[in-house]
Structure 1
Amino acid sequence: MVQKYQSPIRVYKHPFELVMEAYERRFPTCHLIPMFVDSEVLEETESEDGSVHNVQRRCKLDVDAPRLLKRIAGVDYVYFSQENTLNKRERTLHIESHNETFSNRVIIHELCSYSAHPENEDWTCFEQSASLDIKSFFGFESTVEKIAMKQYASSIKKGKEIIEFYLNQLEEEGISHVPRWTPSLDAPSSSVTTKPVCATPKLLQLELPVTPALDADYIKRYLGDLTPLQESCLIRLRQWLQESHKGKIPKDEHILRFLRARDFNMEKAREILCQSLTWRKQHQVDYLLETWTSPQVLSDYYTGGWHHHDKEGRPLYILRLGQMDTKGLVRALGEESLLRHVLSINEEGLRRCEENTKVFGRPISCWTCLVDLEGLNMRHLWRPGVKALLRIIEVVEANYPETLGRLLILRAPRVFPVLWTLVSPFIDENTRKKFLIYAGNDYQGPGGLLDYIDKEVIPDFLGGECMVIPEGGLVPKSLYRTAEELENEDISLWTETIYQSASVFKGAPHEVVLEIIDAASVITWDFDVCKGDVVFHLYHSKRAPQPPRKDPLVGQHSSITTPGGNNVQLIDKSWTLGLDYSMVESPLTCKEGESVQGSHVTRWPGFYILQWRFHTMPGSASTNLPRVDDVLASLQVSSHKCKVMYYTEVIGSEDFRLVAVCVS
Structure 2
Amino acid sequence: MGLDSEKFMNQINQQFHKYFTRGDFGFDKEGRPVVYFPFGNIDPKGEKLCRNLGQEKVHLWFQRGCTVYQSIYVIDMQGISQKHLWKPGLEVFSQIVSCLEQHAPESLYRLYIINAPTIFNVFYQIVKPVLDENTRKKIRVLGCDYKAALLEDIAPEQLPAFYGGLCFGSNGDNKCSHAISYGGPVPKELHFNDTVRPSKLTAVTVNRQSEILIPLEVETDLATISWYVKSLSQNDVGFGIYYSPNGNTDKIEDMEMIAPYFRLLTCFVPEYGSVQVNRKGKCEVPFKRMFYLSNEFNILDFMRLNNKYSYFLSKHLEYNFSVAVVGTPSERGEAE
TM-score by length of 1: 0.29
Q: Is 1:399 aligned to residue 86 of structure 2?
A: no
In the alignment, the residues of structure 1 paired with residue 25 and residue 118 of structure 2 have an alpha-carbon distance, to the nearest angstrom, of: 28
Residues in 2 aligned to 1:295 and 1:420: alpha-carbon distance in whole angstroms: 32
In structure 2, what is the equivalent of residue 321 of structure 1? 39
Q: Deviations over 1:538-578 (max 9, x none)?
A: xxxxxxxxxxxxxxxxxxxxxxxxxxxxx9xxxxxxxxxxx
SS at structure 1 position matched to 2:118: coil
Among 413, 416, 419, which residue is 2:120 paired with?
416
Residues in 2 aligned to 1:436 and 1:476: alpha-carbon distance in whole angstroms: 34
Q: CA deviation at 1:294?
A: 4.8
Q: 1:340 matched to which residue of 2?
A: 55
Note if contact 2:158-2:166 (Cα within 8 Å) is conserved in structure 1: yes
Letter paired with 1:457: Q
2:254 equivalent in structure 1: 593
Q: Distance in 2 between matches of 1:650 and 1:344?
A: 24
Provide closer, same or farther for how the CA distance between residues 514 and 349 of structure 1 changes in structure 2, counting only shifts above 3 A: closer
CA contact (8 A) 1:315 1:349 kept: no
Amino acid in structure 2 at the alignment position of 1:593: D
Correspondence for 1:379: 83
**Residues 156 and 164 in structure 2, CA contact (< 8 A), matched pair in contact too:** no
TM-aligned CA deviation for residue 389 of structure 1: 2.1
- Superimposed CA distance per residue, residues 111-150 of structure 1 (whole angstroms, 9 cap, x where no aligned partner): xxxxxxxxxxxxxxxxxxxxxxxxxxxxxxxxxxxxxxxx
Q: Does 1:454 align with 2:115?
A: no
- Give the aligned partner of residue 4 of structure 1: none
Structure of greater relative contact order (alpha carbons < 8 Å, 6+ residues apart): 2
What is the root-mean-square deviation in Å for CA atoms of aligned residues?
5.0
Structure 1 residue 429 displacement after superposition: 4.5
Cα deviation, 1:397-447, whole Å, max 9, x if unaligned, reads 443332222111112112323553687688544333311111221x234xx
Give the helix-richer structure, 1 or 2.
1
Larger mean CA deviation between 457-466 and 394-403 belongs to 394-403
Q: Residues 153-198 of structure 1, C-alpha deviation per residue, up to 9 Å, x if partnerless?
A: xxxxxxxxxxxxxxxxxxxxxxxxxxxxxxxxxxxxxxxxxxxxxx
Query: 1:590 and 1:311 mapped to 2: Cα distance?
Result: 46
Whole-Å separation in 2 of the counterparts to 1:478 and 1:422:
38
Q: Identity over the aligned pairs, expressed in percent?
A: 27
Whole-angstrom distance in 2 between the partners of 1:535 and 1:503:
20
Specify whether residues 464 and 536 from structure 1 end up closer, same or farther in structure 2 by C-alpha distance, changes over 3 A only: closer
User: Normalized against structure 2, the TM-score is what?
Assistant: 0.52
Pairing 1:439–2:139 present: no
Equivalent residue number for residue 163 of structure 1:
none
Secondary structure (helix, strand or coil) at the match of 1:402 reads: helix
**Map of 2:187 onto structure 1:** 476
Alignment coverage as a number of residue pairs:
235
Q: Write the distance in 1 (CA, Å) between the matches of 2:27 and 2:46.
A: 30
Counterpart check, 1:654 vs 2:330:
yes
Unaligned runs of at least 5 residues, structure 1: 1-283, 354-363, 490-501, 505-509, 538-566, 568-588, 601-607, 613-646, 659-664
Cα distance between partner residues in 2 of 1:527 and 1:378: 40
Q: Assess if the C-alpha contact under 8 Å between 2:218 and 2:283 holds in 1.
A: no
In the alignment, which residue of structure 2 is the partner of 1:310? 28
CA distance in 2, matches of 1:429, 1:346: 24
In 2, are the aligned partners of 1:535 and 1:590 still within 8 Å (CA)? Answer: no
Q: After superposition, give the CA deviation of every residue in 1:594-638 in whole Å (9 maximum; x if it has no partner).
A: 559x999xxxxxxx97599xxxxxxxxxxxxxxxxxxxxxxxxxx
- SS of residue in 2 equivalent to 1:303: coil
- Measured in 1, the distance between the counterparts of 2:166 and 2:154 equals 13
**Superposed displacement of residue 460, structure 1:** 2.2
8 Å contact from structure 1 (residues 370, 408) kept in 2:
yes
Distance 1:420 1:470 in 2: 26
Structure 1 residue 477: deviation in Å? 4.1
Q: Is the 8 A contact 1:302 1:470 kept in 2?
A: yes
Asked if residue 464 in structure 1 is aligned to residue 165 in structure 2, the reply is: yes
Change (3 A) 1:297 1:309: same
Distance 1:343 1:459 in 2: 29
Is residue 397–residue 427 contact of structure 1 (8 Å, CA) maintained in 2? no
Shift of 1:330: 2.4
Structure 2 matches for 1:279-318, cutoff 5 A? Answer: 294-318=12-36
Q: Which amino acid aligns with 1:381?
A: L
Structure-1 separation of matches of 2:42 and 2:117: 15
The C-alpha deviation readout for 1:438-476, integer Å capped at 9, x for no partner, is 1221x234xx11111011111122122322424333333
Report the CA distance between 1:305 and its aligned residue.
0.6
Q: Distance in 2 between matches of 1:417 and 1:487?
A: 44
Following the alignment from structure 1 to structure 2, what is the Cα–Cα distance between the partners of residues 486 and 370?
38
Look up the equivalent residue of 1:459 and give its one-letter code: P
Following the alignment from structure 2 to structure 1, what is the Cα–Cα distance between the partners of residues 59 and 190? 23
User: d(CA) in 1 for partners of 2:328 and 2:16?
Assistant: 43
Query: 1:657 & 1:295 partners in 2: Cα distance?
Result: 37
Deviations 1:363-413 (A, max 9, x none): x72211111112222221122321322233334444333222211111211
The code of the aligned residue for 1:400 comes to A
1:303 and 1:321 in contact (8 A); partners too: yes
Contact kept, 8 Å, 2:26 with 2:34, in 1: the verdict is yes
In the aligned structure 1, how far is the partner of 2:32 from the partner of 2:188? 38
In 1: Cα distance, 2:37 partner to 2:12 partner = 17
